Amino acid sequence: MGSRAFKDSLYAEFAVLGKALANPHRLEILDLLGQGERSVEQLAREAELSLANASAHLQVLRRARLVEAEKRGLNVVYRLAAPEVYGLWRTLRDVGSARLAEIERLVENYFTDREELEAVDRERGSCA
């Protein structure tokens, strides 16, 4: 194998990871799994995805060897394949936060909008 063929093959393998990370739903799934293992049903519910869609995203992550699955009774439980996977997600998140002003603006707007909400009294069902 020549130098060019080696480099092409090597970078193609790294691109598998990039392609697996190139979807917002898959990034959210990695973030959720960084908090602990979950079933497909839990991931679908927490990420607000259909079960079929969550399963498809998990298969992409599994083919890239970023997640592992284990059958437990009727459920399939997923977890990150290694601690480095969460480190990869965290690095991507940190670089994005540092380099993309849009991320900072989104986070700032999210927390600002939440502060403007009025508290609701549980018993009365009205603003406190």
Q: Would residue 124 count as lying in a domain?
A: no
Tens-digit pLDDT profile for the chain (128 aa)? 889 999 999 999 999 999 999 999 999 999 999 999 999 999 999 999 999 999 999 999 999 999 999 999 999 999 999 999 999 999 999 998 888 888 888 888 888 876 565 666 666 555 55
Q: Is residue 123 part of a domain?
A: no
| Distance spanning both ends of the chain, measured CA to CA | 72
Angle at 37 between CA 31 and CA 42, to 5 degrees: 80
Q: Is position 21 within any domain?
A: yes
- Please report whether residue 122 resides in a domain: no
Question: CATH number, domain at 26?
Answer: 1.10.10.10
Number of domains in the chain: 1
C-beta of residue 29 within 8 angstroms of C-beta of residue 81: no
126 lies in a domain? no
Closest CA to 30 of 93, 77, 89, 98: 89
- Is residue 84 a part of any domain in this protein? yes
Range of the domain at 110: 3-116
* Within-domain flag for 125: no
| Distance from C-alpha of 42 to C-alpha of 89, rounded to nearest angstrom | 20
**In this predicted structure, what is the pLDDT of residue 127?**
54
Domain assignment present for 10: yes
